[in-house]
Amino acid sequence: MHAGVDLASICSNLDEFAIPARDASGSDELGVGLWIPSQAAGELGDGVDRFKKFLDERRLRAFTINGFPYDNFHQPIVKRGVYLPEWWRPERLGYTLQLADILVKLLPEAETNGSISTLPIAWADENANQENLAQAGANLRELAAKLQKLEESTGKRIIVAIEPEPGCVLDTTQDVVDWFEKELPETQHRRYLGVCHDICHSAVMMESQEEVLSRLVKAGVMIGKVQVSNAIIADWLSMAVGRQREAIAQLSEFAEDRYLHQTGRLKADGSFELSEDLPELLRSAESEDIPACGDQRWIVHFHVPIFLERFGHLRTSQDDTLECLRFLNQSHAAEFTGHLEVETYAWTVLPHSMRRRGLSEDIAREMFWLRDIVADLV
């Protein structure tokens, strides 16, 4: 999701980053997960055919859209703003329908399914009351009905995939299953509405990948898209006190002000606690005599390149990615579109030591890594 909220910026970014990444990856074409914020979606209007020609000429294949951020995702401070408008707002429904109309026209002729990821209803604050949540459910059911009509008129099925995220109304698998049972119980709903499984997010919540996916299968919830993403892990029990202090200093390089970096904590007594943002947690840790507040492990919502396994005193959740891909390859029961999207959107706020190569080169390296892993599983 490159910076830029208008159509001209989107095209410029694809030329600057996607084309070199396609060439470096050695592929004839490159699948792209588009981010089309509200302003650009409005600009497209009747110009979708021209945009499709732009993509086709560059051998970029658009089959999925990230419809989570509605507005500028690269302003100086985003934090909770990324969860607006919530799903009980008409603007969220209208925007998602705009994206569905666009994606139907962008899909390659041979593709019958397209996917759009969206936010998990809202951030879980006082506004997520019973009335608003009921309206969110009604909006999603209306969305499903309109997506059914879209398929009937075009032959293309657009799947909107709700993406659980730590701290939101839906942040655990149980939340998701309960939501679908209550608000989206019918077959028609579940043909067009499913889950976007972000590997980093479930890792932060310290949920087993296999268990998460198995429960979705058992509940009859479709996996509309998998976002392949790495979280940061600090295993405090494996470090001496001096090493823990060094790791805290290393983590401070990731405590930036643009995005929210929720952190799952496995506490000394084995209980789980979610801290809203890494900078706040680090300030709390600095006030303690015991490094890392005496916790056993932290897992941080900060998308780092998927080819990284370890850096300095920290490691990544790459094992979770491997577990997820193995399950999807082995499970014949899972209803899965097959859409994999690498989502290292935080590249521009990574510590400079981790950005020695260019963005296009790292995108290509991520594609190589993922392609090799998937090939080994087949």
- Residue 220, sorted as left (phi over 0), alpha (psi -120 to 50) or beta, turns out to be left
Across the chain, which distance is largest between two alpha carbons, in Å?
65
**Helical pair 130-154 and 173-183, crossing angle rounded to 10 deg:** 70
The answer to whether 63 and 99 have CB atoms below 8 angstroms apart is: no
DSSP character at residue 84: -
pLDDT in tens, the chain (378 residues): 676 789 999 999 999 999 999 998 888 999 999 999 999 999 998 899 999 999 999 999 999 999 999 986 556 666 888 999 999 999 999 999 999 999 999 999 999 999 999 999 999 999 999 999 999 999 999 999 999 999 999 999 999 999 999 999 999 999 999 999 999 999 999 999 999 999 999 999 999 999 999 999 999 999 999 999 999 999 999 999 999 999 999 999 999 888 899 999 999 999 999 999 999 999 988 877 788 999 999 999 999 999 999 999 999 999 999 999 999 998 776 799 999 999 877 777 788 778 768 888 888 889 999 999 999 987
The answer to whether 150 and 101 have CB atoms below 8 angstroms apart is: yes
DSSP character at residue 286: H
Taking the CA atoms of the chain, what radius of gyration do you get in angstroms? 20
**Cα–Cα distance, 368 to 4 (Å, whole number):** 26
DSSP character at residue 313: T
**Cα–Cα distance, 87 to 89 (Å, whole number):** 5
Residue found under tokens 């979705």: 216
pLDDT at position 239:
95
Give phi and psi for 286, each to the nearest 5: -65, -25
Domain boundaries, the chain: 7-230+317-377, 233-300
Distances 158 to 24, 62, 251, 370 between C-alpha atoms, Å? 31, 13, 39, 25
Beta strands in 157-261 (DSSP E): 157-162, 193-198, 223-228, 230-235
The answer to whether 137 and 216 have CB atoms below 8 angstroms apart is: no
pLDDT at position 73:
59
Q: 186: how many CB neighbours lie within 10 A of its CB? A: 9
Tokens at residue 275, please? 């801290």
Amino acid sitting at position 260: L
Sheet holding 263-266, edge to edge: 272-275, 263-266, 297-304, 230-235, 314-316, 310-311
Strand duo 113-118 + 157-162: pairing: parallel
Query: Which residues does 240 contact at the CB level (< 8 Å), separation at least 6?
Result: none
The answer to whether 211 and 320 have CB atoms below 8 angstroms apart is: no
Residue found under tokens 């879980």: 124
**Fold classified for 7-230+317-377:** TIM Barrel (3.20.20)
